[in-house]
Each structure stands twice: as structure tokens, then as C-alpha cells.
Amino acid sequence: MSVKTLTIDGKMVTGMAGETIFNAAWEAGIRIPRLCHVGGVSDVGACRLCLVEIEGQKKLLAACLTPVEEGMVVHTNTERLRAHRRLILELLFAERNHVCSVCVMNGQCELQDLAAEAGLDHVRLRYQFPKLGVDTSHERFGLDHNRCVLCTRCIRVCDEVEGAHTWDVSGRGARSVIIADMGEPWGQSESCTSCGKCVQVCPTGALFSKGRGVGEMRKDRRFLKYIVTAREKHQWIR
């Protein structure tokens, strides 16, 4: 497989042909912000936080979907990108009901961390306050649509790793919601194996284990690396 050499934020970086800018950057210690990407499942470019500038390209491109190319010059943290990222985060906060202080993931949440990293100290947009439900029909887990950012990590891990494809998106635009099977309450889903992988990869408090109070939810993604390593390298190692 051929190796490509490119420049990311002034640093010479190499990547394999077909590898994404996102992966090449992270391997080189350049942390591009992300919300929908999770290692071990496919990328969809849903959150747009990993947008980067590529010299000679007018459009901003999602680093998680753009393969490295020889001689590419990439910028990941320009003022323009920081402004876009801040606005994306503000849109996410304004679109649903992220009340961090009373959320099970308070202090552990990826959205909360990204906002802090971006220096987001208030949301300039008007909060929408959509009326959304909480599905607690599952015996062990809950789905709080108020906290969902529609990153679709749950859908992809359920489909690609567990092989159940319980989750999907219903509706369009801001009215999109995550549904189980054909829109049944989660507890009545026939395809769900109750494995909990979706809960562990969810970046916010949208998917949680029942019985957790404010700030008590912890998520553990080590299982994903274990499964992916086992599949790809046939090594069953932790």
C-alpha cells in the first residue's frame, strides 16, 4: 500500500493511501475535534466539527471523510474553522434541551467538553425548547431525546458491530429522531439484543443506564477497540 506525505498545521505527516485526514492527524498528535466519529465504526460526517481547510480547495471538507493525498496542505485550527465550530456547537445546544446541570452525563459529556474547549461561554442563538420524550421502556437502559445530537454513533455501532441494526433515524432536519425498529418503544424492540454498545458510544446523556443520577453515568468504549482488534488482527487482547 502506498504512503502519502502531507502537511497538517505545518507538520509533515504520513498516511496510507485511503486513510482519512482525521486519522492521519490524530496519529500525528493533532487532535481535530469530533462528535460523530468513533474509532471502530464507519464515518458519516454528520457533526461537521472536523471540517478542515485544504489549500487550493474552496470548500471546507470533513476530515473524517477525506482521504489523504500526496502534497496536501491542511489547516485544522484556523480562526475561520474555530468560528464555524463554535457556531455548530451553539446550534447543537440551541436545537435540543441540554440542561447540563441535571444531566446523567454532567462532567463526562463530550458535547460539554467540546464547548469548553471551544471557549463557548454562552449560546447566541435562541434556545428552541422542543418538546421531546424520554423512552424508558427498556429494562436496563433509557433514551433521552432531549440530549441527543443525532451523531448516529448508536446506529452505526448497532449495525456494524453488534449486527442488530435496531436503531435508525426517523423524520428530517431538526425533527429527526432516533427510533428503535419501526418506531416501537425500545423495550418492545424485537431486534435489540440489549448488548448496551449504543449506550457506551453515545457522546452525551441521550443513551444511559437506568438508575444513574446527575453526573453519575460513566461510559466505557474499550469493548469497541477489543472487538475491532479481534476482527481485524485476530488478536483477542485488551
Partner 1 sequence: MDSLTKKPRLATVWLGGCSGCHMSFLDLDERLFELHRRAEICASPFTDYKDFPEVDITLVEGAVTTAEQLEEIRHVRRRTKILVSFGDCAVTGNVTAMRNFFSVDDVLDRAYRETATQIVGIPSGNPAVPRLLDRVRPVHEVVKVDYFLQGCAPSAEEIYRLLMDLLDGRTPALAGRKFGS
Of residues 74 and 103, the one with the C-beta less far from partner 1: 103
Q: Cβ 112 to partner 1, closest distance in Å?
A: 5
Report which of 140, 218, 144, 137 is spatially closest to residue 178, judged by C-alpha positions: 144
- Contacts of residue 163, Cβ cutoff 8 Å, sequence gap at least 6: none
Residue 124 · residue 91 · CB < 8 Å: no
Q: Cβ 220 to partner 1, closest distance in Å?
A: 21
Q: Cβ 180 to partner 1, closest distance in Å?
A: 23
Of residues 59 and 122, the one with the C-beta less far from partner 1: 122
Of residues 24 and 114, the one with the C-beta less far from partner 1: 114
What is the per-residue DSSP string for 65-130? TPBP-TT-EEESS-HHHHHHHHHHHHHHHHHTT--GGG-TTTTT-HHHHHHHHTT--S--SPP---
Q: Cβ 33 to partner 1, closest distance in Å?
A: 14
Of residues 80 and 127, the one with the C-beta less far from partner 1: 127
CA 110, chain centre distance (Å): 8
Q: Which residues make up the interface to partner 1 (CB under 8 A)? A: 93, 97-103, 106-107, 112-113, 115-117, 119, 121-124, 126-127, 129, 131
**Total number of residues shown for the chain:** 238
Of residues 3 and 102, the one with the C-beta less far from partner 1: 102
Of residues 129 and 194, the one with the C-beta less far from partner 1: 129
Q: Cβ 119 to partner 1, closest distance in Å?
A: 5
Q: Cβ 126 to partner 1, closest distance in Å?
A: 7
